[in-house]
Amino acid sequence: MDPWTFWLGGALALGGGLLTVTRRNAVASVMWLIVAFVGMSTLFLGMDAGFIGVIQVLVYAGAIMVLFLFVIMLLNLTPSGLLRIDRPRWTTLGLASAAAFVALILAIVTGGELWTAGGGDEEAILQATGRDTLIEGGVLDVADQLFNAHVLPFEVASVLLLVAVVGAVALTKRKL
């Protein structure tokens, strides 16, 4: 990846994420979360994963966050109406879960084949994963993986989502 892309995307993602959790105003939080998503999309694009990068913006920044904003606007959330989480117990719990999350990520990344294979060296990764070529991030490559190699998990996930949709309709509709 181009270093500039990395630093720009990283700064947007981290800065946006940090401002998301520190803003008092819920709408401002949503806006900064969108910035964070755009930053992550930049990182995906920098890694030649064009499809994931575009989907990141299309689904998260463009659709899900609109619903967030919609709900916040409808409820008319004010800073005073928000739950204050500056009590010591909450802080301790938050820090503990953050530390656990970081530890988990580190364990996955350092314990996996990719890390031991020399972080980014193409030949080494191919050798470690036993593939002939690296999987590219284009639409066709992603579709090929999704509908051939991983079609069962894909279908299971879509059934799960369908159940969630039906559940949401059943919960909100008073008279079916």
Partner 1 sequence: MAHLLALSAADAYDRAEGFWASLYPWLHKVFVENAWLTAVLLVLVVGLTAPLLVSLLVWCERRGSALIQDRLGPNRVGPLGLFQSFADLGKFLVKEDVTPDHVNKPLFLLAPCIAVAIPLVVLAFIPYGRNVWIADVDAGILACFAISSMHVYAVALGGWSSNSKFPLLGAVRASAQMISYEIALGLSALAVFLVVGSLRLQDVVLMQADGWVTGGEYLGAWSKLLDWNMFKQPVGAIIFLIAGFAETNRHPFDMPEAESELAAGYHTEYSSFKFALFFLGEYAAMIVISALFVTLYMGGWTLFGLENALDGWVASYGADNTGWINWVAVAEGGLHASIFSVKTMAMLLFFIWVRWTLPRFRYDQLMRLGWVRLFPLSLAWLVVVAVATGLLR
**Which stretches of the chain bind partner 1, using CB under 8 A?**
25, 27-28, 31, 34, 50-51, 54-55, 57-58, 61-63, 66-67, 69-70, 73-74, 138-139
Give the Cα separation of 58 and 75 in Å (integer): 25
The set of residues, in sequence order, having a beta carbon less than 8 Å from that of 26 and lying 6+ positions away, is: 72, 77, 79, 82
Minimum distance, C-beta of residue 54 to partner 1, in the bound complex (Å): 5
Minimum distance, C-beta of residue 112 to partner 1, in the bound complex (Å): 28
Is the Cβ of residue 62 or residue 94 nearer to partner 1 in the bound state?
62
Is the Cβ of residue 87 or residue 175 nearer to partner 1 in the bound state?
175
Minimum distance, C-beta of residue 175 to partner 1, in the bound complex (Å): 17
Give the Cα separation of 157 and 161 in Å (integer): 6
Is the Cβ of residue 70 or residue 154 nearer to partner 1 in the bound state?
70
Minimum distance, C-beta of residue 138 to partner 1, in the bound complex (Å): 5
User: 3-state class of 175 per DSSP?
Assistant: coil
Minimum distance, C-beta of residue 151 to partner 1, in the bound complex (Å): 17
Is the Cβ of residue 34 or residue 36 nearer to partner 1 in the bound state?
34
In this structure, the dihedral spanned by the alpha carbons of residues 125, 129, 133 and 134, taken in order and rounded to 10 degrees, is -60
Is the Cβ of residue 75 or residue 157 nearer to partner 1 in the bound state?
75
The set of residues, in sequence order, having a beta carbon less than 8 Å from that of 32 and lying 6+ positions away, is: 16, 17, 19, 20, 23
Q: Is 68 exposed, middle or buried (0-12, 13-18, 19+ CB in 10 A)?
A: middle
